[in-house]
Structure 1
Amino acid sequence: MNETILLQCGELMRRGSSSFHKAFDGLPSPRREAVHVIYAFCRIIDDSVDEPENSPYTIHELRSMFLKLEEAEGHFIWPALRWLFSSFPQLSQEPFLLQMEGQLTDLTFTHYETMEQLESYCYLVAGTVGEMLLPVLRDDDNEEARSAGISLGMGMQLVNIIRDVGEDLRRGRRYLPLEVLQRNGYSEQELAQGEVNERFIAVLQELKTEALAYFRRGLDNVRTYPPQSGMAVELAAAFYAAILDAVAAQDYNVFHKRAYVSDEAKVLMFRRTAARYPLVH
């Protein structure tokens, strides 16, 4: 395997999400490189829908080439994926196909009515990532761990939705379910105008409660992972949960500001988490 190809995946992850890169950087090889490949492919899938002008492929081209993976050429992701599936034979292609199916819905289904619809979407675009990572992060096929991995991914997607309300509206999408808006007395007109008031804050807090519940379920069995993997999962969850605090710190103005977690805060979270994993270092 050409090491440069794996380094390119790692660089794509570092540029795309410094939080994820830092969280998984302590994994031993080849688990670390496998996470880089999974992230890189998911990033390319995401960009094919959200930023098609910057993507090497359309979502349809990606799916077609993935289905003929042994023949796919023209980008470093294809040999990287071949390496991934050959190094981790227990890894299924199914969650990757579901991930693409979820991203395809963004092209046609842009306004959500119910939490049930939103949760189905969160599973497809993010719960599946938990399923992809599971065979890479641990060596056994554990149904409880699979369920936890799905929950963690779905919680992270809810955080993304909270953080990116304004950005998504500018793309013509409303992930905040209409039933949640109505339950909290916040109108679609107010949303379109970017009004931050107590009713909007109540909408975000309802989704925040859901996200944190997914995180709790996602971390239920983290101690059954190999120590380096468990620490990586805890770090990823901590970094993402901290985005919710950053949203609150900027008074829930997610229309014009992108909430982010400072490097200093990440260092503190890293130290706190590492203290629970003394054998990792």
Structure 2
Amino acid sequence: MTSLDYSSDISAGLLKGVSRSFYLTIRVLPRPVRKPIQLAYLLARAADTIADTDAVPSANRLGQLERFRARLSDRSIELPAVLSASPELQVHHDEPETELLQALPRLFVLLDNLPEDDHRNVQKTVDTLVRGMEFDLTTFPAPESGRIGALDTLDDLDRYTYLVAGCVGEFWTDVMIAHERAVRNWDRERMADLGVRFGKALQMTNIIRDVPKDLRAGRCYVPREILESVGLTPEALLSPASSEDARPALTALVRHALDFYVSAEEYIQATPRRCIRIRLAMIWPVLIGLTTLELLVRSASWLDPETRIRVSRPWVYGMMVRSVPCASSNAPFTSWTQRLRTRIEDLM
């Protein structure tokens, strides 16, 4: 087993440790497609670990992220310079995240040895994702400040979701075209645009679900223009008792997300049915995302930080089994998503 063996613990084992759900999705992909996607995820997750390290001041984390981005394209940068040899990064995280940071030298070796097209695609995408992390650090106040910053408009939210998720749809499209013969006749521009919206759909779901947690970190991704239209402020969302008053804001965000999910469904429908493993890897997050939105709109405690609104692990495993027919036919997949969207819209 060499240091460039993607089946080694360098990539697969690390992935399982830091994201069990994404691990299930990534492992179903064909190996040639899996390699760059898996590496891009691990690099982005490592950068996110640096960005979220409360033990290091925000200004220092920005410097770490800037050096991280520089290393993506400049092999001459030594990794200790990327991390500034900060012991805080090694001791203030769960063990899997610490292992991920310790594996960064090997991950960058993997990046350096990718074929040219894959290297360019991974470098560009991770660079964009890290810029999204830098946006968080420069836009919102530090959690210890006790203040809450908010995005101003829905356009601001769309720009942000592109940085932290939409760009992955472009990346996914380019990787598929490069490595999967069955999709090489895709209209790249159309599919990349659908892919961006696919990524935004999943990120919008995360944003809506995580409002209580993000508020307590000083971050409000619910745009002020939406809150002001229903007479609320970001600070008002801190009270779980405001869940009912904030429901119109929730509804507006859910409708925005549902528009993106239509594009995600189109993306999957445009993927040849013989690409069973690739289709499954896309079908699962869509079904999880739409079901999560349904749980959110059903909840009377959307703003309660003590209420965990998410699908259960047994549900995920059951969904994976039930979704197998969707991999080879658009009809059952479309029927399933239409039922979910109809239930969500009826609840709103």
TM-score, normalising length: structure 1: 0.86
Q: What's the counterpart of residue 9 of structure 2? A: 7
Relative to structure 1, the CA distance from residue 195 to residue 59 in structure 2 (aligned partners, 3 Å threshold; closer, same or farther) is farther
Measure, in 2, the Cα distance between the counterparts of 1:244 and 1:185.
24
Indicate yes or no: 2:71 matched with 1:68. no
Q: Secondary structure at the match of 1:176?
A: coil
Measure, in 2, the Cα distance between the counterparts of 1:166 and 1:220.
31
Q: Secondary structure at the match of 2:246?
A: helix
Letter in 2 for 1:218: A
Indicate yes or no: 2:159 matched with 1:159. no
Measure, in 1, the Cα distance between the counterparts of 2:301 and 2:35.
36
Tell me, yes or no, if the aligned pair for 1:138 and 1:229 is still in contact at 8 Å: no
> How far is 1:115 from its partner?
0.4
Q: What's the counterpart of residue 175 of structure 2? A: 136
Indicate yes or no: 2:7 matched with 1:20. no
Q: Deviations over 1:22-48 (max 9, x none)?
A: 223211112223322121112122222
Tell me, yes or no, if the aligned pair for 1:10 and 1:33 is still in contact at 8 Å: no
Q: What's the counterpart of residue 280 of structure 2? A: 231
Tell me, yes or no, if the aligned pair for 2:201 and 2:257 is still in contact at 8 Å: yes
Q: What's the counterpart of residue 166 of structure 2? A: 127
> How far is 1:105 from its partner?
0.8
The higher radius of gyration belongs to 2
Q: What's the counterpart of residue 223 of structure 2? A: 177
Letter in 1 for 2:29: L
Q: Secondary structure at the match of 1:113?
A: coil
Indicate yes or no: 2:20 matched with 1:45. no
Measure, in 2, the Cα distance between the counterparts of 1:251 and 1:17.
29
Which of 251, 259, 264 is the aligned partner of 2:309? 259
> How far is 1:86 from its partner?
4.3
Which of 46, 53, 59 is the aligned partner of 2:65? 59
Measure, in 2, the Cα distance between the counterparts of 1:78 and 1:52.
25
Measure, in 2, the Cα distance between the counterparts of 1:4 and 1:89.
15
Q: Secondary structure at the match of 1:198?
A: coil
Tell me, yes or no, if the aligned pair for 2:292 and 2:309 is still in contact at 8 Å: yes
> How far is 1:155 from its partner?
1.2
Indicate yes or no: 2:110 matched with 1:80. yes
Q: Secondary structure at the match of 1:219?
A: helix
> How far is 1:116 from its partner?
0.5
Letter in 2 for 1:66: L
Point out the more displaced range, 81-90 or 253-262: 81-90
Aligned residues: 278
Letter in 1 for 2:289: Y
Which of 237, 248, 267 is the aligned partner of 1:191? 237
Unaligned runs of 5+ in 1: none
Point out the more displaced range, 10-19 or 87-96: 87-96
Q: Identity of counterpart residues, as a percentage? A: 23
Relative to structure 1, the CA distance from residue 145 to residue 52 in structure 2 (aligned partners, 3 Å threshold; closer, same or farther) is farther
Measure, in 2, the Cα distance between the counterparts of 1:147 and 1:120.
14
Letter in 1 for 2:65: I
Relative to structure 1, the CA distance from residue 179 to residue 258 in structure 2 (aligned partners, 3 Å threshold; closer, same or farther) is same
Unaligned runs of 5+ in 2: 80-103, 141-149, 179-183, 330-348
Relative to structure 1, the CA distance from residue 234 to residue 133 in structure 2 (aligned partners, 3 Å threshold; closer, same or farther) is same
Q: Which has the higher contact order (CA 8 A, sep 6+)?
A: 1
Q: What's the counterpart of residue 168 of structure 1? A: 214
Q: Secondary structure at the match of 1:199?
A: coil
Q: What's the counterpart of residue 327 of structure 2? A: 277
Measure, in 1, the Cα distance between the counterparts of 2:159 and 2:313.
33
Measure, in 1, the Cα distance between the counterparts of 2:42 and 2:234.
35
Q: Secondary structure at the match of 1:51?
A: coil
Tell me, yes or no, if the aligned pair for 2:276 and 2:328 is still in contact at 8 Å: no
Indicate yes or no: 2:107 matched with 1:101. no
Letter in 2 for 1:190: A
Q: What's the counterpart of residue 289 of structure 2? A: 240
